[in-house]
Chain A
C-alpha cells in the first residue's frame, strides 16, 4: 500500500469524516434517549410504566455498588456459557459424526430432526418436574436450545466442503485425521461459526425465559423480582443488561470469525 503522503489539512478532514461515519449509527439511539428522558420529566410517561433514563442509571449505579448486580450477572453468564459449551459441544461432535459417517446419519439424523421441531421452551413444565428450579434445569434448556443450530450448521458445513479439495487431498495421501485437520474442518468452519453465532443469540433468549420462570438468582430472577415490587427501574436495568450481554456474545463470535476466517476475503477487515 504505497499511498502518497497526505497534507495535515487533508488528514484532519479525513479524521473528521471518519468520526462522522462512526458516530452516525448512534444518532437514532441518542435521539430516542433524549425523547424518553424529556417525556418522563414532562410527566407524559408515568414511571409506573417506564422509568426515566436517569432513574435507570441511578438504579444501575446503586445495584452495582451493592454488588447485587454483579452477582446476578455472574450467575447468568455462567449458566449461559456452561449451557452453550455443553449443548454446542455435543452439537459439534454429533454434527461431525453424522456428516462424516453414513451409518451415523442413518441412525441419528431422523431422530434429531424430529426433536429439533420441539421448541425447547415448550419443555419447561416437564423440565421443572424433572429438575425442579435447580441449576440443571436452566443448563438443560440452554444446552438443548443451542445444540440444534450448531449441529445443523456443522452437518451442512462438512457436507458442503469443496469436493475438488477433498479429491486433491486424497491424491496427496491425506486421510483420517490429517484430512480432517487440513481440509474438512477448515472448510466447514465458516458454516460452523454461523451456527455458533446463531446459538449465542438463542442462548440468552432461552436463559431469560428460563430465569424468569424458575430461578432464585440471575438477571431474569432480578427482573421478575423487581416486578413484584413495581421497581420499573430495576426491570429496565435487567432488560438492558441482556441487550449488552447479547451484543458482547455477538462481538465475540464476530471476533472468532475475523480471526479464523482471515483467509477468506469476505471476512477480511477493510484497511
Chain B
C-alpha cells in the first residue's frame, strides 16, 4: 500500500486522515529472556491506519512485543517492518529527528506517564522538539484539555492528567504509529473511560496506526478494529471487531464479543 511520510506538521486533520498511518509487519519474531521464551515465531500484520488491541495474561509477552516494535527490545530472530522501512526500527530509537530521514515516526505511551519531574508541563510536551513548535505543543495540550496547566510541575497533576500530558507529548510529533503500553492501567474507572474516548477521538481525526496493549478486554473492544490474544508466545485469537463506532459498552454485540474473548482468555486457567 502507498504510504507517505510527511514532515510538515501543519496539515489539517482531513488531509492527514489515512495518510499518517503506517503498516506494521511482524514476521517470525522470537524473543527470549534468560532462556525463557516470551514470543516464539510470532507473526502479525497490521495495516496502515488500523487500531489493534493486544490482550493476554500478565507475562504473555504483549509488552515485549510492543517494546520490540520501537526497538527497546531486540528479537533473537525474525524481523519487524514498520511502513516501508525494514530492519531500521531499532535505529529509529536513537536517531534524532526520525521524521526527516523518511523513517516512520513511532511514539510510545507507557503505563506510567514518564514525564520529566524537573520540567514543567509544556517543556515536557516539547521534549526533543525545537522552540519553534511551542504553538503546536500548546494546541495539542489544549486538545487533551490541559492548556491551563502548561506552567505547572508534573508533581501537581493527578495520574489521569499526567497520562493526558504523556499522550500530548506523543501526539505533538504527529506519529505514524502510536504504541500504547497499558497506558490506562493505573487509572480509576471513570478516568479510564474518558481517556479511551479521548484516544479514540484523536485516532479518528489523525488516522495513525495504533497498537494498544491492555489487560482490559472491554477496553480493547471499545477502541480497536481488531483484538489479538497472545497465549504461549503465539497468536491465540485474532478477532475483527465489527461494531460501528461510537461503541457503547451496554450493547448486545459488545457484550457477546467481550464474553467470547474473555472465555477464550480464561480457558487455560488451572482449576482450583
Contacts and interface: CB of A to CB of B under 8 A. Distances in A.
A173 B117 contact: no
Interface of B: 70, 72, 93-98, 106-108, 110, 112, 114, 116-120, 127-128, 153-155, 169
B112 A164 contact: yes
Given A167-B72, A186-B118, A263-B117, A172 B127 contact: yes
A168 B128 CA distance: 11
A265 B117 CA distance: 10
Contacts of B112: 164
Contacts of A7: none
A183 B116 contact: yes
B107 A171 contact: yes
A174 B128 CA distance: 7
Main secondary structure of the interface of B (DSSP, over half): loop
A68 interface: no
A173 B114 contact: no
B155 A170 contact: no
Most chain B CB atoms below 10 A, which of A164, A183, A263, A264: A263
A175 interface: yes
Contact of B98 (A173, A182, A262): A173
A204 to B, nearest CB: 30
Contacts, number: 60
A173 B116 contact: no
A255 interface: no
A178 interface: yes
Nearest to B112: A164
B95 to A, nearest CB: 6
A252 interface: no
Given A171-B72, A171-B107, A178-B128, A186 B114 contact: no
Interface in A133-168: 164-165, 167-168
Contact of B114 (A164, A178, A182, A262): A164
A173 B97 contact: yes
Contact of A171 (B108, B154, B155): B108
17 contacts: A164-B112, A165-B116, A167-B72, A168-B108, A171-B70, A171-B106, A173-B94, A173-B97, A174-B96, A174-B128, A183-B116, A186-B118, A261-B118, A263-B117, A263-B118, A263-B119, A264-B155
B93 A265 contact: no
Nearest to B98: A173
A189 B117 CA distance: 12
A173 B95 contact: yes
Given A170-B94, A171-B72, A175-B94, A164 B110 contact: yes
B97 to A, nearest CB: 6
Contacts of A174: 96, 127-128
B114 A168 contact: yes
B114 A165 contact: yes
Contacts of A164: 110, 112, 114
B96 A173 contact: yes
B110 A168 contact: yes
Most chain B CB atoms below 10 A, which of A182, A189, A261, A262: A182
